[in-house]
A and B are shown apart, each in its own frame.
Chain A
Amino acid sequence: MKEDWKPLRQLAMVIDLNKCIGCQTCTVACKTLWTDEEGMEHMYWNSVNTQPGRGTPRDWEGMGGGFENDVPRAGRLPSISEFGDVPRYDYERVFSEGHGEKEFLRPKKRPDWMFNWDEDQGAGVFPNSYFFYLPRLCNHCTYPACAEACPIKAISKRKEDGIVLIDQDKCKGYRFCMEACPYKKIYYNYVTRTSQKCIFCFPRVDKGVAQACARQCPGRVRFVGYLDDERGPIHRLVNQWKVALPLHPEYGTEANIYYVPPIGPLRNTEDGNFDPSQPRIPTEYLVSLFGANVKPAIETLQTEMDKRRRGEKSELLEILIGWRWPDDFFSHLTKDPVEAGGGLS
Chain B
Amino acid sequence: MKVKVAKIAAKADEALSPASAVWGRVPGTRVVLEPSPLENQPSAYVRALPPRHGKIHEIEVRALHNGESLFFHLAWTDPNQDTTPTDAHPFPDAAAVMMPLPEAAEMVFEGDAISMGADNIPVNAWLWRPDFGEQAKNVTARGFGTSKRSADGGISARSEYARGRWAVVFGRALKPQLGPEESAPVTAPGKTLVAFAVWEGANNERAGLKAVSPKWITLEVAS
With beta carbons under 8 angstroms apart, the residue of B41, B45, B47, B87 that contacts A145 is B45
A246-264: contact bitstring with B at CB < 8 Å (1 yes, 0 no)? Answer: 0000000000000000000
**A79 and B207 contact, CB distance less than 8 A:** no
Check A148/B48 contact, CB under 8 A, given A172-B207, A174-B206.
no
**A174 and B207 contact, CB distance less than 8 A:** yes
**B49 and A151 contact, CB distance less than 8 A:** no
Q: A73 to B46, alpha carbons, bound, how many Å?
A: 10
CB proximity to B under 8 Å, residues A80-131: 80-81
Q: How far is the CB of B150 from chain A (nearest CB, A)?
A: 13
Q: How far is the CB of B146 from chain A (nearest CB, A)?
A: 8
**A150 and B87 contact, CB distance less than 8 A:** no
Q: Which chain A residue lies CB-closest to B208? A: A151
Q: A70 to B87, alpha carbons, bound, how many Å?
A: 31
**B44 and A148 contact, CB distance less than 8 A:** yes
With beta carbons under 8 angstroms apart, the residue of A81, A151, A152, A172 that contacts B87 is A81
Q: A175 to B43, alpha carbons, bound, how many Å?
A: 12
Q: Which chain B residue lies CB-closest to A190? A: B85
**B45 and A152 contact, CB distance less than 8 A:** no
The number of chain A residues with a CB under 8 A from chain B is 26
**B90 and A180 contact, CB distance less than 8 A:** no
B23-56: contact bitstring with A at CB < 8 Å (1 yes, 0 no)? Answer: 0000000000000000001111111111000000
- Label chain A's interface by main secondary structure: loop
**B88 and A79 contact, CB distance less than 8 A:** yes
Check A151/B145 contact, CB under 8 A, given A77-B204, A79-B88, A174-B207.
yes
With beta carbons under 8 angstroms apart, the residue of B41, B44, B88 that contacts A72 is B44
Check A148/B90 contact, CB under 8 A, given A153-B145, A174-B206, A176-B207.
no
Q: A219 to B137, alpha carbons, bound, how many Å?
A: 51
With beta carbons under 8 angstroms apart, the residue of B43, B88, B147 that contacts A176 is B43
**B90 and A150 contact, CB distance less than 8 A:** no
Q: A173 to B84, alpha carbons, bound, how many Å?
A: 13
**B48 and A151 contact, CB distance less than 8 A:** no
CB contacts (< 8 Å) of B109 on chain A: these are none
Q: A151 to B46, alpha carbons, bound, how many Å?
A: 8
**A193 and B207 contact, CB distance less than 8 A:** no
CB contacts (< 8 Å) of A16 on chain B: these are none
Q: A229 to B208, alpha carbons, bound, how many Å?
A: 42
CB contacts (< 8 Å) of B207 on chain A: these are 151-152, 172, 174, 176
User: With an 8 A cutoff between CB atoms, is B144 at the interface?
Assistant: yes
Q: How far is the CB of B80 from chain A (nearest CB, A)?
A: 16
CB contacts (< 8 Å) of A174 on chain B: these are 206-207
Q: Which of B43, B48, B86, B208 has the most CB of A within 10 A?
A: B43
Tell me the number of A-to-B contacts counted with CB atoms below 8 Å: 60
Q: How far is the CB of A69 from chain B (nearest CB, A)?
A: 11
User: With an 8 A cutoff between CB atoms, is A149 at the interface?
Assistant: yes
Q: Which of A72, A145, A179 has the most CB of B within 10 A?
A: A72
Q: A152 to B206, alpha carbons, bound, how many Å?
A: 12
User: With an 8 A cutoff between CB atoms, is B149 at the interface?
Assistant: yes
**B46 and A149 contact, CB distance less than 8 A:** yes
Q: How far is the CB of A251 from chain B (nearest CB, A)?
A: 14
CB contacts (< 8 Å) of A145 on chain B: these are 45
CB contacts (< 8 Å) of B144 on chain A: these are 151
With beta carbons under 8 angstroms apart, the residue of A80, A173, A176 that contacts B45 is A176
CB contacts (< 8 Å) of B85 on chain A: these are 173, 190, 193
CB contacts (< 8 Å) of A81 on chain B: these are 87
Residue ranges of B at the interface with A (Cβ–Cβ < 8 Å): 41-50, 85-88, 90, 144-147, 149, 204, 206-208
Interface CB pairs A-B, < 8 A, 30: A71-B44, A72-B47, A73-B48, A74-B50, A77-B90, A77-B204, A79-B87, A145-B45, A148-B43, A148-B45, A149-B43, A149-B45, A149-B46, A151-B42, A151-B144, A151-B145, A151-B207, A152-B145, A152-B146, A152-B147, A153-B145, A172-B207, A174-B207, A175-B90, A176-B45, A179-B45, A180-B45, A188-B90, A190-B85, A190-B86
Known: A1-B44, A149-B46. 12 other contacts (CB 8 A): A72-B47, A73-B48, A77-B204, A79-B87, A151-B43, A152-B146, A175-B90, A176-B45, A176-B46, A176-B207, A179-B45, A193-B85
Smallest CB-CB A-B distances: 3 pairs: A149-B45, A72-B45, A151-B43
